[in-house]
Amino acid sequence: MDLIKDIDILSTEEAQDSDFQTTPEGNTGKAKKVYIESYGCAMNFSDSEIVASIMKDNGYDTTSDMKKADVIFLNTCSIREKAEQTVRNRLNHFNGLKRNKPGMTIGILGCMAERLKEKLIEEEKIVDLVVGPDAYRDLPNLVATAEEGVKAINTFLSREETYGDISPVRLNSNGVSAFISIMRGCDNMCSFCVVPFTRGRERSRDPESILAEARDLVSKGYKEVTLLGQNVDSYKWSPEENNKARLNKKEEEVSTVVNFAHLLEQVALVSPQLRVRFSTSHPKDITDEVLHTIKKYDNICKSIHLPAQSGNDRVLELMNRTYTRAWYLDRVRAIREILGEECGISSDMIAGFCSETEAEHQDTLSLMEFVKFDFSYMYFYSERPGTLAAKKYPDDIPLDTKKSRLAEIIDKQSELSLERNRLDVGKEQVILIDGASKKSGDELRGRNSANKVVIVTSEGLQQGDYVRVKITGSSRGTLFGSIQEINPSNIA
């Protein structure tokens, strides 16, 4: 779920939990302005695009200038303590703003709103409204209530809401890549994780609305979509379960169940020029059928985010991940067998989970070494109130030990990224240009199928071009390429 990050940053808690995105200037002539700051994962960023759409339909343009805003929303994350602390610090910052503009409404949306509910209103005096991830359709009413000086709250979690009919307002988009949420919630109960409590039960979005969104993006010139869910492999849509109204349709239509492999195929068929990515895959659920579908279509990227979390069986069991090290390695074997060595494999890792021994930590390092991940998002364990782990296991690894284990995991990943990137040198790959290089105005950056950043000279190129490049150099986080062909007919 952390696709917004550049892979040249070996991402850790420090970097991730304080990063946020803001809204651009809307300028469609609406009377009022909303400013949204979004924290957390790609699903939260995608939700802010739904929120912007709902607000737009109710008379609000987005603004990039919080001082101009009538309404400020913080779309928050609860995944680690640091993420929540960042939001609380931000609220202090908004205090002064509100003093100068008392009519301004300040709302907390997202996972922290869902977790803390009315407590947020009690604890943070400047908060006017608190709205959970499934209650965004109610925002216009809640904002109106808050404008009358009454604190407003809706943290109802739904079993059906997917916002499937809402056309997102693309925020911070480069016009090349966009997220499409294909499901919401999570039914896995990983013992460390707050998401099942903040996002509710898992539900899949109607495939027709997903395909309509993909077609619309293609018609607007987008070249890449990323299908988002906490566990995309458990995507499942059947008219019986998801839309009773459709039962009036013919027998063969109602009995069709769409799984993730089917959905992936249908999105790939929208246009051969549209790259398709997805995240996150769960090791217990990823099927060979999905891997064969990825292989079948040149426009499905060969890149799988498959969080391992730990390399030790006892810790995996305590984490309630429901797979073993051997199972995980078997899935990696299947990926290598079906998609080959060049398929990118990335992971999330947690250092210092409850009662983890030094030997068990070494198992995580050895798993990393064995798989040779291209990159990882790495964190130390942060106890979250209400989770299974918080109830059952003492958070007994000293902070210093957590940090030193995390540092070893980061060092290992750094070594592996360098090693994996070196293997690309001399190869020809197709990249999609998605922005300017951070370092030089004469260079652009793109991504290859495995989701690695490739830097090329900008001459003759523009954002959204596919380019066949020869990889001429590599560093830990970046590849360097020389242009061979612009917009080749085959984008594999």
Using CB under 6 A as the binding criterion, the count of chain residues that bind ligand F3S stands at: 13
Of 27-35, 98-106, 189-197, 365-373, the segment contacting ligand SAM by CB under 6 A is 189-197
For position 80 contacting ligand SAM by CB under 6 A, the verdict is yes
Least separation in angstroms between residue 352's CB and ligand SF4 is 16
Nearest to ligand SAM of 1, 290 (CB atom) = 1
Q: Residue 196: which of ligand SF4, ligand F3S, ligand SAM, none does it interact with, CB under 5 to 8 A by kind?
A: ligand SF4
Classify 11 in phi/psi space as left (phi over 0), alpha (psi -120 to 50) or beta.
beta
* Ramachandran class of 355: left when φ > 0, alpha when ψ lies in -120 to 50, beta otherwise: left
Which of 40, 168, 207, 464 touches ligand F3S by CB under 6 A? 40
Q: What does the per-residue mask of binding to ligand SAM show for 207-236, with x meaning CB under 6 A?
A: -----------------------xx-----
Of 216 and 285, which has the nearer Cβ to ligand SAM? 285
**Structural contact between residues 456 and 483, judged by C-beta atoms closer than 8 angstroms:** yes
Which residue, 44 or 421, has its beta carbon nearer to ligand F3S?
A: 44
Choose among 181, 182, 121, 198: nearest CA to 152.
121
Residue 179: in which H helix or E strand, if any?
Answer: strand 177-181
**C-alpha–C-alpha distance, residues 308 and 348, integer Å:** 6
Separation in Å, CA 165 to CA 54, 181, 206, 335: 11, 12, 9, 35
Told to check if 121 binds ligand F3S by CB under 6 A, we report no
| 319 belongs to the binding site for ligand F3S (CB under 6 A) | no
Q: Do the Cβ atoms of 481 and 455 come closer than 8 Å?
A: yes
Q: Which is nearer to ligand SAM, 127 or 343 (CB)?
A: 343
State the minimum distance, in angstroms, from the CB of residue 234 to ligand SF4.
Answer: 9
Q: Which of 12, 280, 303, 478 is in the footprint of ligand SAM by CB under 6 A?
A: 280
User: Is residue 43 at the binding interface for ligand F3S, with CB under 6 A as the rule?
Assistant: yes
List, in sequence order, every residue forming a beta bridge with 35; answer none if it has no partner. 72
Position 44 contacts ligand F3S (CB under 6 A)? yes
How far apart CA 427 and CA 385 sit, in angstroms, is 48
CA distances 18 to 14, 40, 202, Å, are: 7, 9, 27
Q: Are 21 and 172 in contact (CB under 8 A)?
A: yes
**Which CB, 239 or 283, lies closer to ligand SF4?**
283
Count of beta carbons in the 10 Å neighbourhood of residue 273: 13
For ligand SAM, the binding residues in 323-362 under the rule CB under 6 A are 348, 350
For position 198 contacting ligand F3S by CB under 6 A, the verdict is yes
Based on its alpha-carbon atoms, the radius of gyration of the chain, rounded to whole angstroms, reads 22
SS3 content of the chain, % helix, strand, coil (to 5): 35, 25, 40
451 touches ligand SF4 (CB under 6 A): no
Q: How far is the CB of 39 from ligand SAM (least distance, A)?
A: 12
Pairing of strands 71-76, 32-39: parallel
- 41 vs 350, beta carbon nearer ligand F3S: 41
Give yes or no for residue 185 binding ligand SF4 (CB under 6 A).
Answer: no
Closest CA to 347 of 365, 361, 362, 334: 365
Residue 488 and residue 481: Cα distance in Å, rounded? 16
Judged by beta carbon distances under 5 to 8 A according to partner kind, the member of ligand SF4, ligand SAM, ligand F3S, none in contact with residue 44 is ligand F3S
What letter represents residue 228's amino acid? L
Among 60, 379, 466, 480, binds ligand SAM (CB under 6 A): 379
Contact 277, 303 (CB under 8 A): yes
Q: Using the rule CB under 6 A, which residue among 158, 172, 188, 457 binds ligand SF4?
A: 188
Task: Pick one of 53, 242, 299, 309: the residue that binds ligand SAM (CB under 6 A).
Answer: 309
Residues 6+ apart with CB under 8 A from 336: 343
Residues forming contacts to ligand SAM in the complex (CB under 6 A) are 1, 41, 79-80, 192-193, 195, 230-231, 280, 282, 307, 309, 348, 350, 379, 381-382, 384
**Which positions lie near ligand F3S, rule CB under 6 A?**
40-41, 43-44, 77-79, 110-111, 194-195, 198-199
Residues that bind ligand SF4 (CB under 6 A): 186, 188, 190, 193, 195-196, 230-231, 282
